[in-house]
């Protein structure tokens, strides 16, 4: 594939826009730790939601969804459509409780919700497991998808494409470090608009290329692939996402409500018993486990 001067100008404008966003939010992000990591806990719901969606839409997303549909038909989308309910519950239900906990990360929540050495071990294990192992796997398949795409676009080998990807990672990391969470959220929104716009345009051109929606349906039926148009998944392939969803909801419900939260209770609470007990700020969460507390903050 040969890129024209217009293509390079568009690419350059895209990176210039992202760098500009980084410098715009630099002063705000550097004003405090809360502003850098949490945007001052003052992010509009629509911006946070758009960023969450954009984060799940990487270079590998169109490739994997295309493969799922080609293999299992439209119903193959249920492998990721099944995340809808848990995502909505997180946004509309659990997010409020997390906000009341006053934590910066979900790892920090482990030692606030529980106490002692088991809580410290859980926090350390989750840091290593999620922060290193899982993230490395995710970055691996996303970067592999990008390497394949760049190889087709520029006609280069895997090593050259990987070097380009590493350069893009360095640039993106610099922008994120410069602007904090505010810059990440805004650049996510810009990228979401671009990506969704281009995917919709691509879908329109792809359907037109096969003669329209009706022609595509007729070709699928005539080739013996009419079941690919079904929206209802085969239960043999859908039972795992359903069980995963139920387990996820059950664990979250247990972790949230098992000890007995009282949403209308005052902010004050008892301090932990034992040699470490002492005054604890009423605005900060206390550990639950061997010690005791009285209420969640509102």
Q: What pLDDT, in 10s, does the model give residues 37-83?
A: 888 888 888 888 888 888 888 777 888 888 888 888 888 888 888 77
Share of the chain above pLDDT 90, in %: 12
Look up tokens 């409020």; give the residue: 96
Other Cβ atoms closer than 10 A to 18: 19
pLDDT value for 264? 39
Q: How far apart are CA 295 and CA 175, in angstroms?
A: 40
**Mean pLDDT (the chain, rounded):** 77
Residues 140-196: pLDDT tens digits? 888 888 898 888 888 888 899 999 999 988 988 888 888 898 999 999 999 999 988
Rounded-to-10 torsion of CA 57, 127, 280, 32: -50
Look up tokens 């969450």; give the residue: 52
Question: Residue 278 — very low, low, confident or very high, per pLDDT cuts 50/70/90?
Answer: very low
pLDDT value for 294? 36
Q: Is the pLDDT of residue 281 over 90?
A: no
pLDDT value for 186? 92
pLDDT value for 20? 93
Query: Under a CB-based contact definition with an 8 Å cutoff, are residues 229 and 74 in contact?
Result: yes
Other Cβ atoms closer than 10 A to 211: 11
Name the residue with higher pLDDT: 137 or 285: 137
Q: Is the pLDDT of residue 96 over 80?
A: no
Q: What angle do CA 228, 231, 236 make, to 5 degrees?
A: 80
Q: Is the pLDDT of residue 226 over 60?
A: yes
pLDDT value for 76? 83
**Class of residue 203 by CB neighbours under 10 A (exposed 0-12, middle 13-18, buried 19+):** exposed
Q: Is the pLDDT of residue 203 over 50?
A: yes
Query: Under a CB-based contact definition with an 8 Å cutoff, are residues 280 and 271 in contact?
Result: yes
pLDDT value for 245? 64
What mean pLDDT is predicted for residues 220-239? 72
**Class of residue 152 by CB neighbours under 10 A (exposed 0-12, middle 13-18, buried 19+):** exposed
Name the residue with higher pLDDT: 111 or 206: 206
Q: How far apart are CA 77 and CA 189, in angstroms?
A: 24
What separation in angstroms does the CA of 120 have from each of 102, 112, 259, 276, 277?
A: 18, 10, 20, 16, 18
Cα-trace Rg, the chain: 24
Closest CA to 195 of 93, 51, 88, 94: 51
* Helices of type H across 158-264: 158-209, 213-222, 235-257
Convert 188-199 to b/e letters by CB count within 10 Å (16 or more is b). Answer: bbebbeebeeee
Residues 246-275: pLDDT tens digits? 776 666 666 555 444 433 333 334 344 444
pLDDT value for 190? 92
User: Which residues neighbour 259 within 8 Å (Cβ) at sequence distance 6 or greater?
Assistant: 288
């Amino acid at each position: 594939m040969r890129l024209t001067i217009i293509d390079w100008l568009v690419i350059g404008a895209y990176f210039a826009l992202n760098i500009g966003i980084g410098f715009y939010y630099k002063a705000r992000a550097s004003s405090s730790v809360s502003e850098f990591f949490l945007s001052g806990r003052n992010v509009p719901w629509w911006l946070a939601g758009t960023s969450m969606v954009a984060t799940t839409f990487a270079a590998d997303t169109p490739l994997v969804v295309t493969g799922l549909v080609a293999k299992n038909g439209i119903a193959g989308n249920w492998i990721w459509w099944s995340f809808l309910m848990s995502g909505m519950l997180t946004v509309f239900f659990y997010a409020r409780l997390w906000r009341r906990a006053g934590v910066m990360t979900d790892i920090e929540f482990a030692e606030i919700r529980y106490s002692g050495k088991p809580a410290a071990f859980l926090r350390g294990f989750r840091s290593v497991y999620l922060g290193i192992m899982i993230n490395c796997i995710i970055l691996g398949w996303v970067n592999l998808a990008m390497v394949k795409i760049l190889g087709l676009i520029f006609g280069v080998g895997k090593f050259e494409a990987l070097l380009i990807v590493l350069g893009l990672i360095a640039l993106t990391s610099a922008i994120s470090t410069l602007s904090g969470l505010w810059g990440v959220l805004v650049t996510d929104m810009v990228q979401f608009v671009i990506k969704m716009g281009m995917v919709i345009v691509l879908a329109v051109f792809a359907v037109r290329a096969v003669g329209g929606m009706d022609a595509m349906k007729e070709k699928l039926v005539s080739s013996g692939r009419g079941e690919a148009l079904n929206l209802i998944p085969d239960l043999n392939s859908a039972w795992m996402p359903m069980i995963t969803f139920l387990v996820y909801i059950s664990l979250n419900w247990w972790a949230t409500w098992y000890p007995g939260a009282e949403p209308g209770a005052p902010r004050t609470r008892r301090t932990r018993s034992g040699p470490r007990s002492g005054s604890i700020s009423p605005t900060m969460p206390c550990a639950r486990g061997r010690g005791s507390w009285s209420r969640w903050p509102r």
